[in-house]
Amino acid sequence: AYDASKAAIHSLTKKLASDLATPPPNDEGTNDGSGRITVNAIAPGYFPSKMTQGLAAWGVTQDNTSSSIPMGRMGTGNDIAGAAIYMASPCASWLSGAVVPVDGGLLTAPIHIGDEH
């Protein structure tokens, strides 16, 4: 269910971005371009949380998780805040439909299966 819900959020982000980029016509039947809405999402990587604490049952610790992240650490609230502030600012007015990974480079890391790295 977790993976499916994440995929749904990614899909919903893109659909809403498409639908809300062009506002409906005004009372005169025209569209002056105002009222356009951007829609984006943040895809967080590993952050200390109740959910990541539950991974300890499978032997996953903050140390071995951090060592698998290219930036060498788990995320912090400031990492997410920076992305959110950017997306809420005028600087992101041309960004829409994006799912921005805030994961310390985890999605770019090579996958090692069956070997120690």
Q: Catalytic amino acids? A: 2
Q: Which helix (H) or strand (E) holds 100?
A: strand 99-102
d(CA 18, CA 36): 10
Tokens 């090579």 belong to which residue? 110
d(CA 41, CA 67): 26
